[in-house]
Amino acid sequence: MSATVEIANDIALIRMDDGKANAINFEMIAAVNAALDTAEAQAKAIVLAGREGRFSGGFDLNAFATLGADGVYKLLDAGAELLLRLYGGPLPVVAACTGHAIAMGTFILHACDTRIGASGAFKIGANEAVTGMQLPVFAMELARDRLNPTHLTRAMIQGFIYDPAGAVEAGYLDMLADPDKVEATALAVAGQLAQLPAPSYAWNKKAIRTKTLDRIRSSIGAHHKV
């Protein structure tokens, strides 16, 4: 499995680890969704972590190269559905950003409620402008919601890649920890969030994010009709 889940003290620790860049493909999305099924049934908060040095390098470019246009759109839609589940789901979600986060890796950060990043020589940013790709609706909407507005142009239109401290200022991350303490810090934050009354957390989260959720949801499948 490219993602696993462990539950302790009402916290579900979901760890993405494909042994490489934690590329987002159908296999990774299915594994994270299965882990979320377990988490939502058995836990009060979620920590979503990467592997050492890598949170996620973004969508699997090898898959993009071999899937054909229809397959690429289906993978993008599956990614959008996963983001909606994290961003609009009932439980607190804390990201343990264990290293590099690029493109879809940063959009996953946007979809988590609190983001703990590893300090060090790591790269965080949306590089679509550099790679010649157009931003999907889910990327734009989540960035508009979570990034510091003064960084929107630099981050999303110009494709600037930040170091972890810059990523906090830009709004990709909320705080930093030493690389060997990122997961423990995220678990501690999740433990605090798990103490909040669950029904109101779920309601407030969905209510305050409804417009963004609706805009992303309405974009799913749209490219198939073009």
Confirm if 219 and 73 have CB atoms less than 8 A apart: no
Confirm if 168 and 146 have CB atoms less than 8 A apart: no
Eight-class DSSP state of 21: S
Helix, strand or coil, per DSSP, at residue 40: helix
Sheet of 11-16, strands arranged across: 3-8, 11-16, 45-49, 93-97, 114-118, 175-177
* pLDDT at residue 63, as a whole number: 92
Residue 11: CB partners within 8 Å, gap ≥ 6? 43, 44, 45, 46, 47, 187, 190, 191, 194
Looking up tokens 């630099």 gives 154
pLDDT band for position 226 (cuts 50, 70, 90): very low
Helix, strand or coil, per DSSP, at residue 138: helix
pLDDT tens per residue, range 69-126:
999 999 999 999 999 999 999 999 999 999 999 999 999 999 999 999 999 999 999 9
User: Is residue 166 over pLDDT 70?
Assistant: yes
pLDDT tens per residue, range 41-70:
999 999 999 999 999 999 999 999 999 999
**Reported pTM:** 0.97
At residue 39's C-alpha, the angle toward residues 35 and 40, to 5°, is: 120
Residue 99: CB partners within 8 Å, gap ≥ 6? 50, 51, 52, 53, 54, 55, 118, 120, 122, 179
